[in-house]
Amino acid sequence: MAKIIIHQERVTDEKKLNAQFPFGTGALNLGEVVLHDGKVTDVKKLQALCPFGAIDYVNGELSINAACRMCRICCKKGDGIFEYVEDDASSGADKTQWNGIAVVAEMVGSSVHPVTLELLGKARELAGKVSQKVCCLLIGHNLAKAAASLAEYGADEIYLYDQEELAHFRIEPYCAALEEFISYVKPSVVLVGGTSVGRSLAPRAAARFRSGLTADCTVLDIQKNTDLDQIRPAYGGNIMAHIRTPRHRPQFATVRYKVFAMPEKTAPHAKFISGKLDARRLASGIEFLSMRRKQSERGIEDADVIVVAGRGLKKPEDIAMLEELAGLLGGQLGSTRAMVEAGWIDARRQIGLSGRTVKPKLILTCAVSGAVQFAAGMNGSECIVAINTDPNAPIFNIAHIGIVGDVYRIVPELIGKIKAAKGKGA
């Protein structure tokens, strides 16, 4: 961590200092604050500097409590009273001891979840930039077929924890297997699918290794020193946060399904390595009794064509018009968050940061403004067609084809022409 030193013996004008440091000296929490209090004569005045109440005075000693923040404005405007000092790099993890890009595979029944294959493609890309191997961890039971399919997507090593007790996901033994795998392989990066299983597993593993985790990344890249560039929307999608974990290993990141492209198959060359958890680590507070499979349904993530309903629709009955268009195109109906919150459309059809990430061949947005939260969930689509009456709508910034007009005029005409074309074809 960094360190900010306060040279209080050099303080001559505390009012001036207070004006130059609007966030309070408590803003130094991310490093270490050293108090040179030999010249301090007015403790109350000093404590008043911090709006967070982070300066304590107990038993005649000043200290900084956990309420403080780190802003570093003091370093720029503090007339040398505050000094930012980098720690010795040796205080971080030894990066030479951590090598490779690891992907945690996920099973759906007897098949590998497609997000795993997408992550293997990205892992292969990252590993190529730093000349490292790609490892994959597969946990479950009767894994031979699944392991063979993973080998076709570029993994150099596939680690298998194939035990009857692991047939169904239970967080304690699965996390134990992941922890054992990481301790043995020591990968620099660990990629996990942003699924319900992955979101449960990744933070527990990151906590065990006292490392960071960046959830729902939309962009991943890697530096020559193996620092992972993790980019994700933040503050409701209003900014894109660029995150690195330079002092800790491994670096954990989760990625949603459909964010990355599905890679091409390659000639299998993977080395298979078996692991086994002892009975103690297989123990769990969860007892598996039975499983009932829900009715299979095709989600919007798998649709090649999506027609999206936006807040510009006037009444719930108008959704039928867009459902008809989606049916004629062989696609599915999608929705923005506003339509779900209004109760007009099922939440499983919502696209965006708080919904589903999609990457269809064609997406047709109807009366959708194109807020960044929505765009982040669909801007990887092959062809984006937007219909909106507002020529300045943000959706036109990412659309490949933009139609400025009334959805109530354009969609019925489009439906009519598709029906006519199909009639002629018949």
Tens digit of each residue's pLDDT (9 = 90 or more) over 365-386: 999 999 888 988 898 899 999 9
- Confidence (pLDDT) at 81: 44
pLDDT at res. 297: 67
pLDDT of residue 64: 64
Range 74-80 contact pairs with CB under 8 angstroms and sequence separation of 24 or more: 74/4, 74/20, 74/21, 74/25, 74/27, 74/28, 75/4, 77/20, 77/21, 78/17, 78/20, 78/21, 79/20, 80/7, 80/10
> From start to end of 260-338, where are the E strands?
271-275, 305-309, 332-335
How high is the pLDDT of residue 25? 38
Per-domain boundaries in the chain: 3-87, 95-282, 300-425
CATH of 95-282, one of 3.40.50.2000, 3.30.420.40, 1.10.10.10, 3.40.50.620: 3.40.50.620
Measured between alpha carbons, how far is 373 from 241 in angstroms, rounded to an integer? 14
Q: What are the tens digits of pLDDT across the range 200-259?
A: 999 999 999 999 899 999 999 999 999 999 998 877 667 788 999 888 999 999 999 989
Whether pLDDT at 323 is above 90: yes
- Amino acid at site 35: L
Give the pLDDT score at 78: 40
Average pLDDT of 67-90?
Answer: 52
pLDDT at 7 over 90: no
Q: Do 388 and 401 touch, CB atoms closer than 8 A?
A: no
User: Distance between CA atoms of 367 and 353, rounded to whole angstroms?
Assistant: 19
Please give the CATH topology (third level) of the domain spanning 300-425: Rossmann fold (3.40.50)
Q: Is 19 a residue whose pLDDT tops 60?
A: no
Indicate whether 87 pLDDT > 60.
no
Asked whether 54 and 68 are in contact (CB, 8 A), the reply is yes
Model pTM above 0.75: no
Mean pLDDT of 12-19: 53
Q: What is the pLDDT of residues 125-140, one digit of tens each?
A: 999 999 999 999 999 9
pLDDT score recorded for residue 355:
87
| pLDDT computed for residue 253 by the predictor | 97
**Angle at which helices 319-328 and 407-425 cross, to 10°:** 30
Q: What is the pLDDT of residue 36?
A: 52
pLDDT at site 158: 96
Q: What percent of the chain has pLDDT over 70?
A: 80
> Would 95-282 and 300-425 be classified into the same CATH topology?
yes
Residues 179-190, mean pLDDT to the nearest whole number = 97
pLDDT value for 301: 87
Task: Look at residue 156 and tell me whether its pLDDT is greater than 70.
Answer: yes
pLDDT of residue 23: 40
Identity of the amino acid at 26: G
In the predicted structure, residue 286 carries a pLDDT above the cut 90: no
Is the pLDDT score of 282 beyond 70? yes
